[in-house]
Structure 1
């Protein structure tokens, strides 16, 4: 059976380079046949092997004063281009480090399966950086959201919390260890973060970059571009001059060479094989 992988791109944060990079990571870590579908507002520069469709209509309107990725609700529609059956969705800023095949074999085809939100483990919340569901499984949630986008966003803040609490037949989580959270599970805890480089989790298949810290930051060894990487002593000096000293001290990390390798390998153009080889 053909595996279906879906991503979504809107605005100027990511664009064609991220779509292409995700596609190449998928291609290197999946057993064919598969199709890679991008719902996107930009197609220039996108690899020709990628199937591009216009962004589905935004239900209701985009809520304000919320940090959740509510444009993802476009993918909850009853119909989604020509897709049939279940699909695997991934954010554009994940790092794929193992085979994706088990994500299509786990559980029942009708299940809605999310990553586990490790930031609040006791709350049993889902993370939608990588999830699988049948087309239309969350159509009723899209209707609920469209009826009062701002009210829903104000109540749940994150679209993944809304999905976790309201999916019609509940949700399941990927097996432990398949999906890892970079900021929480890869950066050594303070004070070891000053001595050890961020680690690549053993047996992880996908590493997600939730919470504002993305792969390009990890490669540079910084939490964000407002606080660029500094050598340890200089970082400590900067942290002691900030208002939240302890938090700033903990936000030191070395550049992650393994993220650089995964990211750059997927950025390289791969020439088609010669007919004579």
Structure 2
């Protein structure tokens, strides 16, 4: 069986180009055959190699669709799936993500809250059905009480393993991205006007294979210059295409 990747595209937040970029990044960093599935409500513009899967619950919005990946018979697929958010930047080889700690549910943690960060995780189809089944018992209550899918996954998965910390990194927290002495909104305005220069660029930490862009900025926001309180990352152009 070839390596299986999956992503989610719902609504208008990200265009088809983001899905296509993810496919291209994966293709450059995998030495074996792979398939990219995309759970989506609109597959127009996808590369023909990408396999669209229909959204399972049209009443859900945003990140909550990610929970349906844990349905015990998810679209008839089997084996391991490596999920990636559409706004990640792949900077290193991905083959090891399928061989590291076989049989485990693998994910990262949010460096601020300690909850799981679901931007990159690997699971075996049908191995964590409680995530989706318990959500369906009262989705309205879950979406009101929990901030997002990550908090719900943290609540429902007690046996997750973590990726090696250097493999998956946060742009905001681990790439020297935040501008020191940013001076708040005034600083943002001065930088836009060219009256305040930003010293240095964001960097890729040694050993990083996937860079997470949780919240703002997105990769496109910083690949040509600084954004808000974050440094530019010109290296994104070398990977994000």
Same fold (TM over 0.5): yes
After superposition, the Cα gap between the structure-2 partners of 1:57 and 1:13, relative to the gap in structure 1 and judged at 3 Å, is same
Aligned to 2:56: 56
Aligned to 1:163: 153
- Measure, in 2, the Cα distance between the counterparts of 1:46 and 1:100: 22
- Measure, in 1, the Cα distance between the counterparts of 2:229 and 2:110: 23
Aligned-pair CA distance for 1:150: 2.8
Q: What is the TM-score normalised by the length of structure 2?
A: 0.86
- Measure, in 2, the Cα distance between the counterparts of 1:117 and 1:259: 22
Aligned-pair CA distance for 1:138: 2.7
Aligned to 2:78: 84
For this pair of structures, how many residues does the alignment match? 226
Partners of 2:172 and 2:178 within 8 A in 1: no
3-state secondary structure, aligned to 2:119 = strand
- From 141, 158, 166, the equivalent of 1:177 is 166
Flag the structure with larger Rg: 1
Aligned-pair CA distance for 1:220: 4.0
- From 219, 224, 234, the equivalent of 2:223 is 219
Aligned to 2:42: 42
Aligned-pair CA distance for 1:103: 0.7
- Measure, in 2, the Cα distance between the counterparts of 1:160 and 1:47: 29
Give the stretch that moved more between structures: 143-152 or 12-21: 143-152
- Measure, in 2, the Cα distance between the counterparts of 1:62 and 1:11: 11
Task: Say whether 1:145 aligns with 2:145.
Answer: no
Residues 63-93 of structure 1 show CA distances to partners (whole Å, capped at 9, x for unaligned) of 7xxxx82121121211122311111000011
Write out aligned runs for 1:1-277 (5 A): 1-57=1-57, 61-62=59-60, 69-109=63-103, 111-120=104-113, 123=114, 125-167=115-157, 170-186=159-175, 187-188=177-178, 190-191=180-181, 194-223=198-227, 251-263=228-240, 266=241
3-state secondary structure, aligned to 1:4 = strand
Aligned-pair CA distance for 1:200: 1.5
Aligned to 2:190: none
Partners of 2:109 and 2:116 within 8 A in 1: yes
After superposition, the Cα gap between the structure-2 partners of 1:62 and 1:222, relative to the gap in structure 1 and judged at 3 Å, is farther
- Measure, in 2, the Cα distance between the counterparts of 1:118 and 1:211: 14
Partners of 1:178 and 1:205 within 8 A in 2: yes
Partners of 1:221 and 1:253 within 8 A in 2: no
Residues 138-177 of structure 1 show CA distances to partners (whole Å, capped at 9, x for unaligned) of 322212111222322333312112112212x521110111
- Measure, in 1, the Cα distance between the counterparts of 2:129 and 2:239: 35
Aligned-pair CA distance for 1:182: 0.6
Please list every run of 5 or more consecutive structure 2 residues that lacks an aligned counterpart in the other structure. Answer: 183-196
Residues 66-123 of structure 1 show CA distances to partners (whole Å, capped at 9, x for unaligned) of xx821211212111223111110000110000000111011122x2111121123xx3
Runs of 4+ aligned residues of structure 1 deviating over 3 Å after TM superposition are: 191-194, 220-223
Partners of 2:25 and 2:90 within 8 A in 1: yes
Partners of 2:179 and 2:229 within 8 A in 1: no
